[in-house]
Amino acid sequence: MTDTAAIARLIEPAVKELGFDLVRVAMIGGSSDPTLQVMAERPDTRQLTIDDCAEISRSLSDLLDAEEAAGRDPIDGGYRLEVSSPGIDRPLTRRADFADWAGHEARIKYVEPVDGAKQVSGIIDGISGETICIATPKGERQVAFANIASAKLLLTDKLINATAPLSTEGADLIKTEG
């Protein structure tokens, strides 16, 4: 089993040195297509360009190859490296994400069920210490950060308006069939 937390600790300084924030590290694709997925973003825009992805990918490839050559390969066997932005309906992985995205809708899946529920959806009210506050139609829910298995923003008009692209250059050149 690949220790993605250890990989995150290993690669985060390199990502930061390039001027980006590490959002998430995950192994996806199972045994048939193991892929190390790295999500990062620019701290000022919360976005990433294709060139940013390429820059991060080259740096992390060199770092991971050096670890393997030194006998400290953090991933057993072959794998693909995928570097991407978190996207518009991004995962919320850090406490700061819940503060940054307060006012937006999210779905939180619990590690351990709360009052019989496996997840909660609602508007992020913010974070207080280790507790995430979520406004739901049934009232406010308090979610312990340690009890979050996964969380992500939900696609809404408000979120779309809050995440305008860095550039639309070239968008007029995209051709669709029809």
The per-residue pLDDT for 94 is 92
25-48 burial, b for 16+ CB within 10 Å, e for fewer? bbbeeeeeebebbbbbbeeeebbb
Cα distance between residue 37 and residue 11, in whole Å: 12
Residue with tokens 């008009």: 157
Identity of the amino acid at 177: E
Tens digits of pLDDT across the chain (178 residues): 789 999 999 999 999 999 999 999 999 998 899 999 999 999 988 889 999 999 999 999 999 999 999 999 999 889 999 999 998 889 999 999 999 999 999 999 999 999 899 999 999 998 999 999 999 999 999 999 999 999 999 999 898 888 766 555 555 555 566 5
What fold is seen in the domain 95-156? SH3 type barrels. (2.30.30)
The per-residue pLDDT for 81 is 97
The per-residue pLDDT for 46 is 85
Helix or strand or coil: residue 78? coil
Q: What ranges make up the beta strands (E) of the chain?
A: 21-28, 35-41, 80-84, 105-114, 117-128, 131-136, 139-144, 148-153
The per-residue pLDDT for 169 is 59
Pairing of strands 21-28, 139-144: unpaired
Per the DSSP assignment, residues forming a β-bridge with 41 are 21
Contact 21, 8 (CB under 8 A): no
Q: How many H-runs (helices) and E-runs (strands) does the chain carry?
A: 4, 8
Identity of the amino acid at 78: G
Long-range contacts of 43-50 (CB under 8 A, 24+ apart): 43/19, 45/166, 46/86, 46/100, 46/163, 47/85, 47/163, 47/165, 47/166, 48/20, 48/84, 48/85, 49/166, 49/167
The per-residue pLDDT for 89 is 87
What residue spans define the domains of the chain?
Answer: 4-84, 95-156
Per the DSSP assignment, residues forming a β-bridge with 150 are 109
What would the CATH number be for the domain defined by 4-84? 3.30.300.70
CA R_g for the chain: 18
